[in-house]
Amino acid sequence: MATTILSLFLHLFLFSALHSVTYASDPPTVYLIRHGEKSGNPLDSGLNADGFKRAACIQGIFGADSHYKIGYIMAPHVNKKGQHRRSYETVLPLATDLGLTIDTSCKRNHVHCVADKIADYDGPGNILIAWRHGKMKKLVRALGYDDPPRYPDNRFDLVWTIPFPYNNITDIRSEECPGLDVPETLSIEL
Ligand SMILES: *[C@@H]1O[C@H](CO)[C@@H](O)[C@H](O)[C@H]1NC(C)=O
């Protein structure tokens, strides 16, 4: 009897140890988004009203109840003058909700720094990267996909899904934020 119970505990122990090891080593999926809308004034490094609306929308889309299971968030380094803070502002409401600190240790042109951070991440959950669209292509190349598309200049709403081993973008979809992202079929060309 005692042996049976001991063996049962041993099995439970081994099973849960194995299980947690599997979980911890599950490589994260990377989700890449652009920062929200901007005023167009080069002296303004922040979001405009639509951009803040998008930040609120992203807070919902990637929230704790979503299937994205975000455990790590990155945005470009913000300097002392607050320059390059747009991506940070875009994911700040979400990060606050999730209780995560946004990693801003990589500068906005240092895509290999981002790739290294992703490779080194061994915490729980997936990785959300908010970045400038002009560096998306280089960033995805640094991750290991040779042939990424250009992130369109006129879009702010696209989510690129890049699962391990990061050699392909397997999904591109709109955030479909209410009041911001009109389905393309409904937009009128003037
Ligand atoms: C990349 O992902 C797309 C979309 O899921 C898929 O159609 C394509 O076959 C993939 N390419 C490679 C090389 O895995």
Which tens digits make up the pLDDT trace of 114-123? 999 999 999 9
Is 122 in contact with 93 (CB distance < 8 Å)? no
Compute the average pLDDT of residues 178-190.
67
Give the contacts of 78 (CB within 8 A, at least 6 positions apart): 84, 85, 88, 104
Domains in the chain with CATH codes: 25-177 (3.40.50.1240)
Strands 158-162 and 171-174: antiparallel
Give the contacts of 73 (CB within 8 A, at least 6 positions apart): 91, 94, 95, 98, 100, 102, 103, 127, 128, 129, 130
Q: What would the pLDDT profile of 151-173 be if each residue is shown by its tens digit?
A: 999 999 999 999 999 999 999 99
pLDDT surpassing 50 at residue 20: no
pLDDT surpassing 80 at residue 136: yes
How many other β-carbons are positioned within 10 Å of the β-carbon of residue 62? 25
List beta partners, residue 172. Answer: 160
Compute the average pLDDT of residues 138-158.
96
**Pocket test residue of 143, 145, 168 for ligand 1, highest count of atoms within 8 A of CB:** 168
For ligand 1, atom 12, name the residue with the nearest CA. 168
For ligand 1, atom 3, name the residue with the nearest CA. 170
- Give 13 or 149, the one with higher predicted confidence: 149
Q: Which has the closest alpha carbon to 75: 53, 48, 50, 47?
A: 47
Q: What would the pLDDT profile of 35-94 be if each residue is shown by its tens digit?
A: 999 998 989 999 999 999 999 999 999 999 999 999 999 999 999 999 999 999 999 999
Evaluate: CB of 168 within 6 angstroms of ligand 1: yes
| Mean pLDDT computed over every residue of the chain | 89
pTM: 0.85
Is 117 in contact with 140 (CB distance < 8 Å)? no
